[in-house]
Amino acid sequence: MKIKKRWVILFLLPGVLWFAFVYLFSIIQVGVTSLCEWRIAGEITFKGFDNYVQIFRSADFRRALLNNVIWIVLQSTVHVLFGVIFALIVSRGKRYSGFFRTVYMLPNIISSAALGMLFYNIFNPMYGPVNKLIQALGFKDFRANWYADTRLSFFAVTLTWLPFAAIVAILVIAELAAIPDSILEAAIVDGAGELALIWHIKLPLVRSAIGTGTILAATSMLQKLDILAMTSNGGPGNRTMNLPLLIYKTAFNTNNFGMANAQGVVLILVGLLSIGIINKVYRMNEPV
Amino acid sequence: MKIVKKVLSKLFIFLFLSAALLVTLGPFLWVFFASFQTNREILSFTLGFPSGLNIKNYAKALQIAPIAQYYHNSIIVTFFGIIFNLLIMSMAAYVLSRFQFKMQGLIRTMFSMGLLIPGAALLLPLYTSVSTVRLYDSVWGLIVVYVGFGIPTTLFILSSYYRTIPREMEESAYLDGAGFVRTYLYVILPLAKPAFATAGVMQFLLCWNEFQFALTLTTGHQSRTLPIALYYFQSAFASDYGAMFAAVVLVSLPSIIVYVILQKQVVSGLVAGAVKG
């Protein structure tokens, strides 16, 4: 179709400008000032890779990075497994399927701040149902302060996202529904049992959906500032610190802008690296 | 042997679904019921139905924190966040999915790259950019940022829908003498309504739920949104559990209602937004 060039430009311009303001300028600023000395209300002066050397020397940063890596691994494996099992069960189209699909999605649909607040209360040492239930099971003196206890806080934080794999499940369910019945019927005629059907037919055919779900699950671990702010606030000490919360604290509590942006660059790289690895593992660029 | 297998698989499914139900619905039901209970009832953990429909907690929640004001801010941010996002991206997605021109691939790739950048890395740069254009502590600062964050998802949803519209629709409009803009407004847009619903719902969830930028880019009651209310009043609510639960319910309920009503759109939006990314 032949159209005037100016319409193309005019239609694209608002989106491109908006994108430039929100993303491009920001990324350039993060990259450039990560190499600079820059504190609030201070001059910006170039100092090479000093910020990077300093962040890797800091125990808080190393802990945040390690936590993030652990959470990414857990989310890409355990969480994805939950989602896939859920999808396989629910896609059998029983009467209860719709109900479970709706309910399983709830924690993913509300504000993470509200979810964090919910868990903060569930694990409350005084009135939280978790402690009450454990006491009711016979451990009468059980009084764990989950988010303030060094041994428990990591576990209690992880529980706010690990079981809720509805997004992985939705992607896999959509892909399972696209498998032609003829393939499944042929396998059944050949004598394939339920497990063989799942293992040899269904899972290989939904490989790229699982890969996509894994990428979403892994990268979601790079944005959990909200839940941490509402529950453990990265503590006790730096036990549950992650990169987003550390960036926030470095920028707005310590006011060391250059260093916060160096941490930001690391955060972006961790994201790209995770996506690259998952792409390789699930061979996402090859046809099924 | 076959029967044993069957029983085991039924048992596994039963246990798995029960656990899923317990961890997802359990917390919600507890907070919902507790939001109608008194402090004493909450402390003694009388699980289940409250002694009466005690809405005092809701009145108190509105008193402790200016939740009404935050509701108002959230509605404005969400409304304009959806409108501007759909407006700019419906135009961009149209030319990107319909016509061939230089830089087409480049611009498309650029937009999709947004999905690869974790938001927290942009906290500080957006704080300085938004301050520079004097939108710090204003609902408009949040609107600008949320419209930008919605660009990749909205682009994917709209352009995959535009591609399903047959070209003959436009060609016959051109033959009838309609110009480019007229064709877009009167032929394409009305046909793309379902895609706008999907993209709009996704953008609603983004704007209504977003926390970290609302925390960073606002400082006063006139611009803070609902998720931030929970953060700032966590300590103010500390001695009044019922009111705190009422606040959680007030913040979450709109998202849940929108999801339950528009479930189909949310699901197709998630699938469309993810597959291309």
Q: Which CATH superfamily, name and number, covers B59-276?
A: MetI-like (1.10.3720.10)
Give backbone dihedrals phi and psi of B133, rounded to 5 degrees, phi first.
Answer: -90, 15
> Any idea which fold A24-281 has?
MetI-like fold (1.10.3720)
Is residue B277 over pLDDT 50? no
Query: Average pLDDT of B205-229?
Result: 92
Greater model confidence, A40 or A224? A224
SS3 content of chain B, % helix, strand, coil (to 5): 80, 0, 20
Give the chain A residue nearest B125 (alpha carbons).
Answer: A26
Residue A199 Cα, gap to closest chain B Cα (Å): 15
- Which residues of chain A lie closer than 8 angstroms to B210, CB-CB? 111
Element (H, E) at A46: strand A45-46
Residue A170 touches partner B, C-beta closer than 8 Å:
yes
Residue B238 touches partner A, C-beta closer than 8 Å:
no
Among candidates A104, A226, A230 on the partner chain, residue whose Cβ is nearest the Cβ of B24: A104
Does the pTM surpass 0.80? The reply is yes
Among candidates A25, A219, A225 on the partner chain, residue whose Cβ is nearest the Cβ of B129: A25
Query: Average pLDDT of A158-177?
Result: 94
- Which residues of chain A lie closer than 8 angstroms to B231, CB-CB? 113, 229-230
The fraction of chain A above a pLDDT of 70, given in percent, is 98
At A47 the pLDDT is 87
Mean pLDDT of chain B: 89
Give the chain A residue nearest B91 (alpha carbons).
Answer: A11
Tell me which residues of chain A, numbers 49 to 78, contact chain B at a CB-CB cutoff of 8 Å: none
Contact A19 B122 (CB under 8 A): no
3-state secondary structure of B38: coil
At A61 the pLDDT is 95
3-state secondary structure of A36: strand
Domain map of chain B by residue range? 2-56, 59-276
Any residues with CB less than 8 A from the CB of B68 and at least 6 apart, and which? Answer: B62
Residue A38 touches partner B, C-beta closer than 8 Å:
no
Domain map of chain A by residue range? 24-281
- pLDDT digits over A55-74, tens only? 999 999 999 999 999 999 99
At B50 the pLDDT is 61
Contact B124 A30 (CB under 8 A): yes
At A3 the pLDDT is 65
Residue A188 Cα, gap to closest chain B Cα (Å): 15
At B207 the pLDDT is 95
Token pair 């949040």 is at which residue? B142
Among candidates A22, A129, A164 on the partner chain, residue whose Cβ is nearest the Cβ of B24: A164
Angle at B125 between CA B121 and CA B130, to 5 degrees: 130
Greater model confidence, B1 or A233? A233
Residue A107 Cα, gap to closest chain B Cα (Å): 7
Tell me which residues of chain B, numbers 56 to 85, contact chain A at a CB-CB cutoff of 8 Å: none
ipTM above 0.95 for this complex: no
CB contact at 8 A, A122 and B30? yes
Is residue B276 over pLDDT 60? no
Cα–Cα distance, A180 to A91 (Å, whole number): 14
Cα–Cα distance, B93 to A15 (Å, whole number): 9
Residue B26 Cα, gap to closest chain A Cα (Å): 10
Tell me which residues of chain B, numbers 187 to 226, contact chain A at a CB-CB cutoff of 8 Å: 205, 208-212, 215-216, 226
Residue A198: count of CB within 10 angstroms of its CB: 14
CB contact at 8 A, B52 and B186? no
- pLDDT digits over B96-134, tens only? 998 888 888 999 999 998 989 999 999 999 999 999 999
Contact A171 B274 (CB under 8 A): yes
Query: Average pLDDT of B185-192?
Result: 92
Residue A142 touches partner B, C-beta closer than 8 Å:
no
Is residue A126 over pLDDT 90? no
Q: In the numeric block, which tokens belong to residue A125?
A: 């040492």
Angle at B203 between CA B272 and CA B269, to 5 degrees: 20
